[in-house]
Amino acid sequence: MSVIALIGAQWGDEGKGHIADALAAQSTIVARYNGGDNAGHSITIGDTAVRTHLVPAGAFHLQATCILGAGMVINLHSLAHEVDELNGLGANLTPARLKIDRAAQLLLPGHIALDGADEAQLGADAIGTTRRGIGPAYTEKMSRLGVRAGLMAEPDVFADAVRGHVERTNARLTRDYAQPPIDADAVVAEYVALAARFAPHLADTTALVHAAIERGERVLAEGAQGTLLDIDHGTYPYVTSSSTIAGGVCIGLGVGPRHVTRVIGVAKAFCSRVGGGPFPTELHDEAAARLRGTGANPWDEFGSTTGRPRRTGWLDLVALKYAARINGLTEIVLTKLDILTGIDPLPVCIAYSYRDAPITHFPSDASILSQCQPIYSELPGWEENISVAQSVEDLPLAARVYLLQIESFTGVQISYVSVGPERSQVFEVHQSGMS
């Protein structure tokens, strides 16, 4: 077989963890290729809601090797906490099962300090980052000053590299932000101990992925965040700092495009966004609260990583069609269709009004998008409980019309639909080979 790319087709938080878990059941390798612990994937197993942040969401399928790819920035402190938690639930993330690419970058305490200082200095113009150091870590990587994971195998060299990171950070904190310096000795001691723990997990993961491809096995490349947060093709500067689109799979895992044969875009039946930036279909009324939920349930619209309430709005088909194009989506998996039950009519955005003229393309330029007003088409809603549906035939006609509108507008078939958080609440619409 080959590589399946699982991509967020909106602003992230589309429910990729739920789908990754299903796909991982038939995969030999499940790999994260971008981002860091700013991502959060949720899986509901029975009555237990499990959240992953660095480890791929396929961690509970014990036949799969979990890979943290070269395109990631890895916070070892967060990784230690996550591995301990997941192992306590039966994930068995030993060095044989969890592999860290030697070329992956390490996210260190100075990156977190700089991220917070940057956001505080921007004030009202803050991007709305998770303040977990992702941007500064990628900045240091691109400046060729980053600390690669491979150095964990060389304790003395690693200690010197971490100390150098702290010294560079302290120069900036004290000079540019009037912030107190970080304790270099404490950071070095903590991270040398963490490096000793995770050095046995180091591997050439590109070689592992290619070996699996040559054996005809399935590799699942699990994306973090969403298409519209891509550093190049998203709503810059209100984006993340990595390549979230399908092309990022090739960069972050070291595989050629010909090996990526399926590109699955996960999209919610409505939209949500965390942090700053333009959001044309955003709502600020009772409908927004209804789509968001109260936070009482693990699947409500609150960040898996930060707990922040998400901004919510109607489905934006213009943005989804853009995501389909730049990712080359071969199929869409639609999640949270059940949340729309009881809303009638259901508006969907089919164009924008920009300076009093209609436009039908998605402008990734944030300054233009911020001036766009949604043009809606209204579809009929439904009252029936669809959370028990096991096939498209079990859906009311209005729900099927909603799916057809998405397919006809984007030109991409919907392969699967999720009508609830459980593994059993996902069913096939068009044959795709997910199982």
Report which of 315, 312, 303, 372 is spatially closest to residue 347, judged by C-alpha positions: 315
Q: Tell me which residue has tokens 């240091």.
A: 140
Active site residue 41: yes
Going by C-alpha positions, the residue among 258, 262, 249 that lies closest to residue 26 is 262
Question: Of the residues 13, 37, 101, 316, which is catalytic?
Answer: 13
User: Could you tell me whether strands 331-335 and 414-418 are parallel, antiparallel, or unpaired per DSSP bridges?
Assistant: parallel
Give me the half-sphere count of Cα atoms (radius 13 Å) on the Cβ side of residue 299.
Answer: 22
Residues 4, 262 contacting (CB under 8 angstroms): yes
Q: Are 73 and 141 in contact (CB under 8 A)?
A: yes
Give 351's contacts (C-beta < 8 A, 6+ positions apart): 318, 358, 359, 360, 374, 375
> 26-62 burial string, b = 16+ CB within 10 Å, else e?
bbbbbbbbbbbbbbbbbbbeeeeebbbbbbbbbbbbe
DSSP for residue 422: B
Alpha carbon 183 to its chain centroid, in Å, reads 32
The rounded distance, in Å, linking the Cα atoms of 200 and 191 is 15
Alpha-helical regions (H) of 177-310: 184-198, 205-214, 247-253, 286-292
Contact 263, 327 (CB under 8 A): yes
**Dihedral angle over CA of 69, 74, 79, 83, nearest 10:** 0
From the candidates 18, 21, 37, 41, which is the catalytic residue?
41
**Cβ atoms of 126 and 183 closer than 8 Å:** no
**N-to-C CA span, the chain:** 14
Q: Are β-strands 3-8 and 219-222 bridged in parallel, bridged antiparallel, or unpaired? A: parallel
Beta strands at 48-52 and 41-45: parallel, antiparallel or unpaired: antiparallel
120 to 307, 355, 376: CA distances (angstroms): 19, 33, 37
Helix, coil or strand: residue 63: coil
Catalytic residue IDs = 13, 41
